[in-house]
Amino acid sequence: MTSQSSNVTVIGAGSWGSALAIHLAKAGHQVRLWAYEPELVQELNQSHTNSIYLPGFTFPESILACNNITEAIEGAEVVVMVVPSHVFRQVLVKASSFLMTDAVIVSCAKGIEADSGFTMCEVAEDALPKEFHRSLCCLSGPSFAKEVAASVPTAVTVASRSARNAKLVQDIFSTPLFRVYTSPDFIGVELGGAVKNPLAIAAGMVSGLGLGHNTLAALITRGLAEMTRLSIAKGGQMATLAGLAGLGDLVLTCTGDLSRNRTVGYRLGKGETIKEITSSMKMVAEGVINTKTVRALAREAGVEMPITESVYGVIYQDKSPQQALHELMTRTLKAEHE
């Protein structure tokens, strides 16, 4: 753990970006927080609250909120990207003109870009000049925003092709209440974070249908098998998916009431339509978009992912959760590790 203060910019003032800004400021860093909404910037700077995305928390007064991307990025040693996956490229390209050449970029967004099938670090490699590629890291793991903001003990993983930059991010983020492990496998870390989203929708449907712990345990276990198959097919490591960014995040988001994806699934299980659910939510449930992108990636890679296919059927093909469950349970019988 480091006692040295760094200049850190967090891009995105949703619940997760706000929680990380609070955490980093408490850790002693100089933090700027970029928000898309001018009225939110005003609230953050004047009241030190975020009533839209993270109500109930007072932000350290040292955090400076900005709406101007130039002001937010200028002089930042570490830039933490925490915007939804579908706008990640757009915001990163806008920010790239103002990045210092030695800045470290940390993706904390969990998703897959629809058009390219890229993870967020792959999007960054595609969008940024080559000199920034070694600076890319991703941070993922079981970490609800409200619990991180409340300083509940948490453990996550940071991955990078550069061991030096992974260690740098580990040192900057780590505190006695926020433990960071390093990994060289950012494909596995990022795919774990993306694939768990549609699986959490499935878990929510299990609860919404009033089913039991047997069903949920089976879903998590077989979901982990899907996640692992896809990750290995794309070059990830099996051990990564057995760790915090895989199994850890999957268990959290499939069982925790703070999970937006699980909430979407729960409401689907109770009979609501996806349009009714998404129109009533202030914050993006990444799993709705990720279900489509993960399914497309799996099909392109020739990887069988029946749970993800079932969630896709409910969200995009008007299948009922009951029908999707029946189809899953009556698939052709096979060996477990086939």
Interstrand relation of 136-140 and 154-160 (parallel, antiparallel or unpaired): antiparallel
The per-residue DSSP string of 128-184 comes to S-GGGGGGEEEEESS--HHHHHTT--EEEEEEES-HHHHHHHHHHH-BTTEEEEEES
Paired tokens of 267? 């409401």
Distance of CA 62 to the CA centre of its chain: 26
Rounded Cα gap, residues 103 and 206, in angstroms: 44
Catalytic residue, chosen from 110, 146, 196, 282, is 196
Paired tokens of 270? 């109770």
221: enclosing H helix or E strand? helix 213-233
Query: Residue 270 catalytic?
Result: no
Task: List C-alpha distances in Å: 278 to 86, 87, 233, 281, 286.
Answer: 16, 18, 32, 5, 11
Instruction: Identify the three-state secondary structure at position 251.
Output: helix
Rounded Cα gap, residues 191 and 188, in angstroms: 5
Task: List the catalytic residues.
Answer: 196
